[in-house]
Copies of this chain bind each other. A is one copy, B any other.
Amino acid sequence: MTSSSPQRRDQDPAELSALGRYAGPATLILSSLAEGDKHGYGLTKDIEGFAGIRLAPGTMYEALSRLERQGLIEALESHDRRRPYRLTALGATALRAHLADQRRVAEVGLRRLESGEGTA
């Protein structure tokens, strides 16, 4: 999506819409961080709250290091035993583009469903 060259193999950080393969957990994590800095466990709880999805620990921490590698989030110095993360400017741009596309596509689908057709 994001207009420029759709499906990317991509480990290229600068390229937007590089939200992993399809972006499930990544989108949720970035959306959560858009509200403020959080650490892994906090993200798990927040995402469970606003999306109703509980990410498995493996998914969470692997996604975090992937997103950090891609420059979409950055780690802050850890207090206590927490590793908080912050959304970067790049991450915010990527998230905005991705969510806009996602919402647009969802609306197309819903409109088509309402148009009576389909089940025929």
Residues of A that sit less than 8 Å from B by CB:
1, 3, 6-7, 21-22, 24, 27-28, 30-31, 33-37, 48, 50-54, 56, 86-89, 91-92, 95-96, 99-103, 105-110, 112-113, 115, 117-120
Given A34-B117, A34-B118, A99 contacting B110 (CB threshold 8 A) = yes
The docked-state distance in angstroms from the alpha carbon of A117 to that of B103 is 21
> In the complex this chain forms, how many copies of it are found?
2
- On chain B, the residues within 8 Å of A103 by CB distance are 102-103, 106-107, 110
Q: Find A87's partner among B50, B86, B87, B118 (CB 8 Å cutoff).
A: B118
Q: Are B52 and A3 in contact (CB under 8 A)?
A: yes
The docked-state distance in angstroms from the alpha carbon of A20 to that of B118 is 20
Q: Are A35 and B119 in contact (CB under 8 A)?
A: no
The docked-state distance in angstroms from the alpha carbon of A110 to that of B37 is 16
Return the chain B residue nearest A22 by Cβ. B24
Apart from A27-B105, A92-B113, what are 20 other A-B pairs with CB-CB below 8 Å? A1-B52, A3-B52, A6-B52, A22-B24, A27-B109, A28-B105, A31-B105, A34-B109, A34-B117, A34-B118, A35-B118, A36-B120, A50-B108, A52-B101, A92-B119, A95-B109, A102-B103, A102-B106, A103-B103, A103-B106
